[in-house]
Amino acid sequence: MSDKTGADTIRQLARAVNEHFPDALLRKLHIKTPVEGEIIFNAQKKNVVIVTGNPGDGKTHVIRRAEPEFPKKTNVVRDANEIEGDELVRLIQGAVSDRTPLVMAINEGILLQALHPVEGRYAWAKNLVGSLLHPYRYGDDDHRNHPEKTGAVVLDLTHRNNLAGEVVEAVLDKVTALALSETTPMSENARRLQDSTVKERLCRLLDRVARTGFHATMRDLLGFIAHLLCGGEDEIGDVPPRPYYVNAFVDGEGPLFDAVRRLDPVRVPSPFLDDRLFEDEDALDEWLVDAPEESPCGRNLVNFTTRKRRAFFEHKKGLELLRNGHNDVQDILQQLRDAGESPERVAVGLLNRFFDSSSRVSDMLTLWVAHRYHARPVRYLAANVEISAGEFEVRVPRLPKHLESAFPQHYGDHVVFAHRDMETGEGLVMDERLVGQLLDGDRTSGLGVRDPEAYAKVSSFYDRLSRGSRSGPSSTVRILRSDTMQQVQVGVNAEKRSYFIPGGIA
């Protein structure tokens, strides 16, 4: 396998260079997921199977692990990125027409570049391009881009939820086994990470990250678990690494570490637990993991931070530090995805407050519009159209049914807010970035400090909504001063080209 010790291997994993590992070790660390079964199923059905994904997703690796169960005549191309576009098209077309199984790994951009010129000629090419550019369904159309129509399917590993509980537990078991295969300073971290309570808490933490739509590669996950054990590449010799519960939130580099740090329990107030930890009033029976005696807090903020991080994983009340919520953006995205929590009203309320921070209306969407004559922020907005929240839908993206078995527990990174009569493409895409921008606008006074990107997206959406709305010859227009939130109402009679006081004679 390798002359490396288990500790050396873990440090190398923590540096996220596992692509340099020998195949024997990769086999040992392999975590089987449903995507391998889907590759095998399609190969046995004599389909063309194209595996795409980000670097570190393991495109070549999953093909290698599935290959022993392919039909004998399967053509396997582990790296199709070097194949010229015309040759690539001929290769796929030959496999489709001859009904011979073909399995290949390729980057999405290279594949699209090769297929765009021929998607009008071959049904399979149109199917693959559609699957890559429009991977989600928002209704009951489960037949779109189905491989049985054309004999070709794309499996994009960015849809694989590597933070699913069973995957995280499997990685934990394999990596901690490496650490416990010999006596090293990281053995204590490995022992505690094998505790069932710690496993459950870690799985819940990473599931919360996944629910935001964040995609972690398998390499990301292996590197994260390894960092919990060793704390980074510099923990060498007989120097014990920091506790795993500190390493989870400190010093790790990369998007997964950044996402986890946003859920750092230190950020979450929990008055009763905080007071017990800070004053050293906690009792031994409050802790669920048998661990060496730690030094008391002594009203020291650094010690308190360490104890609170440990409490999330090992204290009876630790889960409160996740349930209490860490991030308003994530909480709102969760509400938008939850059909039982009036997601349309959540979206309407958020949009109304973006323009008018004093608004508490969530049952009617006010379509504020403005005319810009210069580059300076607008001071006044006008509205004469309101639409009931009941006329809208929050459409949650889902993978087509033929991919659900390959990518279970997949979470989309957005929802689409649209009028019931709108095409999904005309709706407002609400993702983590836009929700954050809307919240920032809600918390401030005056459009001058609203995010211009969010303002442009919402205004364009309102324009599309306005096209289907018609007012009568007389209507009431609300005028909003954006810096003070003051409002006035003016009656307008379009036929008479006159103004009037609302409630009076038009």
Is the per-residue pLDDT at 94 higher than 90? yes
Band the pLDDT of 2: cuts 50, 70, 90. Answer: very low
For 270-290, the pLDDT digits (tens) are 889 999 999 999 888 899 988
Structure tokens given for 175: 């990596």
Cβ neighbours for 431, distance < 8 A, ≥ 6 positions apart? 213, 333, 413, 414
For 42-83, the pLDDT digits (tens) are 999 999 999 998 888 889 999 999 999 999 999 999 999 989
What pLDDT does residue 295 have? 78
Smallest CA-to-CA distance from 217 within 331, 54, 105, 344 is with 54
For 17-49, the pLDDT digits (tens) are 545 566 677 777 888 899 999 999 999 999 999
d(CA 190, CA 175): 8
Q: What would you report as the CA-atom Rg of the chain, rounded to the nearest whole angstrom?
A: 28
d(CA 246, CA 461): 44
Mean pLDDT confidence for 115-120: 93
Residue type, 306: T
Is the per-residue pLDDT at 142 higher than 60? no
Mean pLDDT confidence for 86-114: 94
Residue type, 143: H
Mean pLDDT confidence for 312-320: 93
Structure tokens given for 202: 């870690």
β-pair type (474-481, 414-419): unpaired
Phi/psi of residue 373, nearest 5 degrees: -105, -5
Structure tokens given for 486: 């003051």
Q: How much is the mean pLDDT over the chain?
A: 85
**Are 382 and 134 within 8 A, CB to CB?**
no
Whole-Å CA distances, 254 to 54, 221, 223, 261, 352: 14, 11, 10, 11, 36
Domains and CATH numbers, the chain: 34-159 (3.40.50), 165-323 (no CATH), 329-500 (no CATH)
What pLDDT does residue 18 have? 47
Is the per-residue pLDDT at 235 higher than 80? no
Mean pLDDT confidence for 220-235: 83
Band the pLDDT of 109: cuts 50, 70, 90. Answer: very high
Residue type, 275: D
Is the per-residue pLDDT at 112 higher than 90? yes
Bridge partners for 453 per DSSP: none
d(CA 33, CA 36): 6
293: left (phi over 0), alpha (psi -120 to 50) or beta: beta
Band the pLDDT of 1: cuts 50, 70, 90. Answer: very low
3-state secondary structure of 479: strand
Mean pLDDT confidence for 398-424: 90
Entry pTM: 0.83
**Count of C-beta atoms within a 10 Å radius of residue 362:** 18
What pLDDT does residue 294 have? 73
